[in-house]
Chain A
Amino acid sequence: MIYREAGDFKTTYAADNQTFPIKGDRFAYYVVLAFALGVMPFIITDYWANAIVIPFLIYTIAALGLNILIGYCGQLSLGTGGFMAVGAYSSFKLMTSFPELSIVFVVILAGLCTAAVGVAFGLPSLRIKGFYLAVATLAAQFFLIWLFTRTGWFFNYSPTGMITAPTRTVFGYPVTGPRASAVSMYLFCLAFLIAVAWLARNLTRGTLGRKWMAIRDMDIAAEIIGVNPLTAKLSAFAVSSFFVGIAGALLFTVYLGAAEAGEAFGIDKSFLVLFMVIIGGLGSILGSFLGAFFLIVGPVLLKLLLVDNLRWPSDVAAHLEIMIIGALIIIFLVLEPHGLTALWRTIKEKLRLWPFPH
């Protein structure tokens, strides 16, 4: 009744082309943005920040990155954990080598380093695709982790093999290190997420995005239409790795504070981000948010329910949690193979006709 495009006339192509063409969507978007910027900073607590909000923000950035590669360009990658490690270790090297450098630039430069590494490991995509490419990127995952645990230069020869983030400030507020407050960490990550989501949306709505999707849907036809597969695929790898590298840098500097490549950025991280993308919805910006939300917030909510409300022993709850999340993933994918976004789309289509579906 309320949620529909009827009466919402567009007079220019630019207006027809906007991100949220329906008024209701636009309104919801502004509400969420206002809440995230205006309300959250005042109500956020250390527990909520560390358990849910900050990992959600960081993993959404990683999921956006991977979604560009898999969902938009159709290039399967299992190297996300390794690329996050590149972001983390390059931010560590930058922080320790250039203590004067602002943390904002450190994170961006770490993303650029990761983009370069991503392009290098994306080169096989020009010859192979599908599962074979997945295996090639898996090699990147193992190689990168091996490199970061074996080469002393990357962790400044620290005896534990760990990298630790020193304190860095933005506008005088520490955002990394032990003195960082929940609010400043939250706002720092949120700023990056908003920027990344905005960039991702812009890149996928225009020519480049269409090139990626053309390669994804039918690479031979794409080439005959005039898409250069080399630049299209490598640009997808570059943009994707850039975002994933930012996520890795934030995960290490802001969230973890100290990390060791094998533990923090193992193959399980690659799968976690891959699941987020698949469950959220391939080829969708919103899907990256939904997928990350589901896999980050889901377990925490389950723990709250089982341990705090039902008084179950926490070890039993921890195992059950994994089983329940696993079952939910399977149920979701059986019911809606195209992820939460498709579910949302179906709801929207129903909503448009409601309450008079005929």
Chain B
Amino acid sequence: MLDTQPEGYVTADGRKIGGVLMEMKNITLRFGGVVAIKDISFDIREGEIRAIIGPNGAGKSSMLNVISGFYHPQEGEVWYKGERRPRMRPYEVARQGIARTFQNIALFEGMSVLDNIMTGRLNHMSAGFFKQALWWGPAAKEEAENREKVEKIIDFLEIQHIRKTPVRRLPYGLKKRVELARALSAEPSILLLDEPMAGMNVEEKEDMSRFILDVNDEFGSTIVLIEHDMGVVMDLSDRVVVMDYGKKIGDGSPGEVRNNEEVIKAYLGVSHD
């Protein structure tokens, strides 16, 4: 098992995976009488692509919401960078370097693509109220500096041509890409992607997969990913957590998960090798 290598390892394609960045310990989340997540533990290592899969209603998105601080589990602990994370509001979690995209695109429709992505850099901008009001030295300088960083991401994701377009005019596939750009511009240490390929056609899925791999490769971002497309998950991820009815039924490399009896029974159905 991978857990026996505390200091990290090197993948087959030569990427270095570091130690444990975040660890979920015995998380239980209830909504009234409904148990959405039941006693789940897993860890996320630095630099890896970690997938969470499972059938509808398995609790994957709830898990992501726990990580991003939107839900607070009744039991269990979240450990981040070696420290136990206290109960936090989502914006405090964001400041710690966790960014995410949403299953149903949550862009700011009234703003331009550029403004949306600039919003992602909020936590890197510190000019005070009065400096902004007067647009004096530091505020204007900071804006230009951050714009430069944002432009790099715009280049990277190939969305230069829509830079100034209001988001509400964009087609679905591009919106997904802008959302990734917004999350990326925060330079997160953990990037959470909630079904980045939902509703896309094959070509768009290929593009998005390439972007995810490139992000991981170039920025060294740790990525946690929820996805339904099995082929994509198995190809992209280093390790996979499998959930069903709020329980963890499998955890390991794609190969291990694919051959796990319980996973096959619950999710993949009859083996189709």
A residues neighboring B (CB under 8 Å): 12-14, 17, 199, 202-203, 205-208, 210-211, 213-214, 216-218, 220-229, 235, 283
Contact (Cβ within 8 A) A202 B111:
no
Which residue on A lies nearest to B167, using beta carbons?
Answer: A217
Known contacts A206-B127, A220-B70, A226-B91; 12 additional CB pairs below 8 A are A14-B140, A203-B132, A210-B111, A213-B110, A214-B108, A217-B110, A217-B111, A222-B119, A224-B93, A225-B119, A226-B123, A283-B110
Contact (Cβ within 8 A) B115 A17:
no
Instruction: Tell me the smallest distance from the CB of B119 to a CB of chain A, in Å.
Output: 5
Contact (Cβ within 8 A) A228 B111:
no
Could you say which of B69, B99, B123, B135 contacts A206, with CB atoms under 8 Å apart? Answer: B135
Contact (Cβ within 8 A) B132 A222:
no
B147 partner residues in chain A, CB cutoff 8 A: 13, 17
Contact (Cβ within 8 A) A224 B129:
no
Residue B2 lies at the interface, judged by CB distance under 8 Å to chain A: no
Residue B102 lies at the interface, judged by CB distance under 8 Å to chain A: yes
List B142-157 residues whose CB lies under 8 Å from chain A.
143-144, 147-148, 151
Can you name 28 A-B pairs with beta carbons within 8 Å? A13-B143, A17-B143, A202-B135, A202-B139, A203-B132, A205-B135, A208-B129, A210-B118, A210-B122, A211-B122, A214-B111, A217-B111, A218-B106, A218-B109, A220-B70, A220-B106, A222-B108, A224-B70, A224-B91, A224-B100, A225-B91, A225-B99, A225-B122, A226-B91, A226-B122, A227-B91, A227-B122, A228-B89
Instruction: Tell me the smallest distance from the CB of B79 to a CB of chain A, in Å.
Output: 20
Which residue on A lies nearest to B134, using beta carbons?
Answer: A202
**How many B residues are at the interface, by size bracket?**
35 or more
Residue B182 lies at the interface, judged by CB distance under 8 Å to chain A: yes
Q: How far is the CA of A201 from the CA of B119 in the complex (A)?
A: 17
Residue B210 lies at the interface, judged by CB distance under 8 Å to chain A: no
Which residue on A lies nearest to B183, using beta carbons?
Answer: A225
Q: How far is the CA of A202 from the CA of B128 in the complex (A)?
A: 12
Known: A13-B144, A13-B148. A210 touches B119 (CB 8 A): yes
B100 partner residues in chain A, CB cutoff 8 A: 224
The interface centre, meaning the residue of B125, B133, B144 with most chain A CB atoms within 10 A of its CB, is B133
Q: How far is the CA of A296 from the CA of B191 in the complex (A)?
A: 51
Q: How far is the CA of A283 from the CA of B69 in the complex (A)?
A: 30
Known: A213-B108, A218-B108, A224-B91. A207 touches B135 (CB 8 A): no
B151 partner residues in chain A, CB cutoff 8 A: 13
A210 partner residues in chain B, CB cutoff 8 A: 111, 115, 118-119, 122
Contact (Cβ within 8 A) A225 B120:
yes
Q: How far is the CA of A205 from the CA of B135 in the complex (A)?
A: 9
Residue B19 lies at the interface, judged by CB distance under 8 Å to chain A: no
Q: How far is the CA of A225 from the CA of B186 in the complex (A)?
A: 8
Which residue on A lies nearest to B96, using beta carbons?
Answer: A226
B125 partner residues in chain A, CB cutoff 8 A: 207
A14 partner residues in chain B, CB cutoff 8 A: 140, 143-144
The interface centre, meaning the residue of B95, B106, B148 with most chain A CB atoms within 10 A of its CB, is B106
Which residue on A lies nearest to B65, using beta carbons?
Answer: A224
Instruction: Tell me the smallest distance from the CB of B197 to a CB of chain A, in Å.
Output: 19
